[in-house]
């Protein structure tokens, strides 16, 4: 069976590059996974409290200059501590100066969300190589972030219930701060 292209289109079997042409860049690291995709997967894994998924995204020797120690074990220990001390904490996708990052949010007693942390990532060979939590209030305010009102936040909205095993009534999440 033969396929004929529509008028104005031509059928191309394969494209061969000249030896002096460069291949189109699939990603910043050549592994097919760019920083924005890694950030999205990191946010999803963090919000799902899926440590295995988080660690699958990071190099074994991931640098964590803003916590005590480097490596996947130090990153895991820090994330577990965050989940323990702030069970309602979530991340949303953000950009800081056109660079993918994430913003950490905490709910207050009235269910309003407050920005709590900026999470910046770097990648090498398709894996997260650096996770930083800069202590820069200006950068946190400047980050263009999604508001924490999507489905993924509703799915695990009250992690305290998971820890205690006691049902809690959901708090309204879209309240404005006074």
Which residue has better confidence, 147 or 36?
36
- At residue 68 the predicted structure's pLDDT band, cuts being 50, 70 and 90, is confident
Asked whether residue 173 is domain-assigned, the answer is no
Asked whether residue 66 is domain-assigned, the answer is yes
Count of structural domains within the chain: 1
Asked whether residue 23 is domain-assigned, the answer is no
Q: Return d(Cα 26, Cα 66) in angstroms, integer.
A: 30
Asked whether residue 14 is domain-assigned, the answer is no
Residue 137 has pLDDT above 70, yes or no: yes
Asked whether residue 19 is domain-assigned, the answer is no
Asked whether residue 26 is domain-assigned, the answer is no
Domain containing residue 61: CATH number: 3.10.450.50
On the CB side of 33, how many CA atoms lie within 13 Å of its CA? 17
Nearest partner of 13 among 23, 24, 3, judged by Cα: 3
Per the structure, the complete domain to which residue 116 belongs is given by 35-150
Q: What is the pTM of this model?
A: 0.68
Contacts with 29 (C-beta within 8 Å, 6 or more apart), sequence order: 123, 124, 125, 126
Asked whether residue 41 is domain-assigned, the answer is yes
Q: Return d(Cα 150, Cα 53) in angstroms, integer.
A: 21
């Amino acid at each position: 069976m033969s396929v004929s292209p529509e008028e104005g289109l031509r059928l191309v079997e394969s494209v061969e590059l000249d030896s002096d042409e460069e291949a189109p860049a699939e990603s910043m690291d050549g592994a097919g996974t760019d920083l924005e995709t890694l950030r999205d997967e990191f946010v999803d894994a963090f919000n799902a409290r899926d440590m295995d998924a988080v660690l699958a995204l990071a190099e074994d020797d991931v640098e964590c200059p803003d916590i005590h120690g480097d490596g996947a074990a130090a990153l895991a220990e820090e994330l577990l501590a965050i989940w323990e001390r702030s069970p309602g904490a979530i991340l949303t996708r953000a950009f800081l100066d056109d660079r993918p990052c994430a913003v950490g949010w905490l709910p207050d007693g009235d269910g309003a969300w407050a920005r709590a942390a900026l999470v910046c990532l770097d990648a090498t060979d398709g894996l997260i190589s650096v996770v930083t939590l800069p202590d820069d209030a200006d950068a946190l305010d400047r980050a263009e972030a999604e508001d924490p009102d999507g489905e993924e936040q509703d799915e695990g909205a009250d992690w305290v219930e998971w820890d205690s095993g006691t049902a809690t009534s959901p708090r309204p999440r879209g309240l404005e701060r006074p």
